[in-house]
Amino acid sequence: MRAVSMLPLRVLWVCGALLGEALYHLHRPRRDIALVNIRKCFPELGARAQQRLVKKHFRALGQTVLDIGIAWWASPARLRRLVRVTGVEHARGVLKQGKNMILLAPHFLGLEIAGARIIMEHPGCAVFRRVANDVMDAVMEKARTRFGAVLVDHNQPLLRVVRLVRSGMPLYYLPDQDAGPRSSAFVPFFGIPTATNAVLGPLAKFTDALVVPCLCRQLPRGQGYEVILKPPLADFPSEDAVADAVRMNREIEHGIREMPEQYFWVHKRFKTRPPGEPDFYA
């Protein structure tokens, strides 16, 4: 991965498209998951358009697989050259107000590079899950903390995250994966009742933080990446954690509609269903 990351990004774009095409044809389980997700979220598209979107997703995914090494090992100079940041005034405005900040970062394909680029400028914290392979886990942890980030294992008490954010450290927050029924509320996501972590509102309240949506766009033809910071969510949080989760999902939907092929569709986002509903992926 480190050797591949040294190649020019345009070369990785070509190779990534080929890799993605191969994954599309060879990895049927993930292809089927992506197709189910896209059918559920974009029923207005015809069958052919849905299939084309899945193919575009896999091509973008292939490049991302090859690009991860850039996030982990590239020099600060190269990261600044390959990843531009727009809307930085929104983050600076939050800090000027003396407020703490939570970056709402949905699972777009450029998530790893976006995190490296942001934390390089202003060290923050993030919640993470360990992987089963000890070598890969050690490599990932070392790479993700090389610019001063603090990683909090998802099994640790949330109180540690609260303390870090209250100390002034921005939180790079990734809330949009299925965590099961235990810590979730079923709220709409593309009109579908979806198991959603309802922590963002209370977390923003306890930490006196403003929530800044943070998206990452993979630019076409290997031109790089763009981190997009949007204005802080107005009138957030409310007094209702579930209503805040609905608002969060709506914001994520807006971002997905801007670049639908770049969301992480190969994840079983709708795995946990309300009682009595069938399994979407059966």
pTM attached to this predicted model: 0.94
**Ramachandran sector of residue 276 (left: φ over 0; alpha: ψ -120 to 50; beta: rest):** left
Least Cα distance to 1 among 133, 102, 97 occurs for 133
Average pLDDT over residues 240-244: 96
- pLDDT score at 109: 95
Average pLDDT over residues 11-25: 97
> Do 114 and 214 contact (CB within 8 A), yes or no?
yes
Q: Which residues contact 137 (CB under 8 A, 6 or more apart)?
A: 130, 131
Check whether 183 has a pLDDT greater than 80: no
- pLDDT score at 155: 86
Least Cα distance to 63 among 5, 3, 142, 127 occurs for 5
Least Cα distance to 201 among 236, 167, 163 occurs for 236
Give the residue extent of every domain in the chain.
2-262
Residue 154 banded pLDDT, cuts 50, 70, 90: confident
* 94/211 Cα distance (integer angstroms): 9
Which residues face 263 on adjacent strands? 108
* 100/208 Cα distance (integer angstroms): 6
Helix pair angle (28-41, 47-73), 10° resolution? 120
- pLDDT score at 222: 94
List, as one string, the DSSP characters of 173-232: E---S---STTEEEEEETTEEEEEE--HHHHHHHHTEEEEEEEEEE-GGG--EEEEE-PP
- pLDDT score at 61: 97
Least Cα distance to 55 among 265, 258, 282 occurs for 265
Q: Which residues contact 229 (CB under 8 A, 6 or more apart)?
A: 85, 86, 87, 88, 90, 91, 103, 212, 213, 214
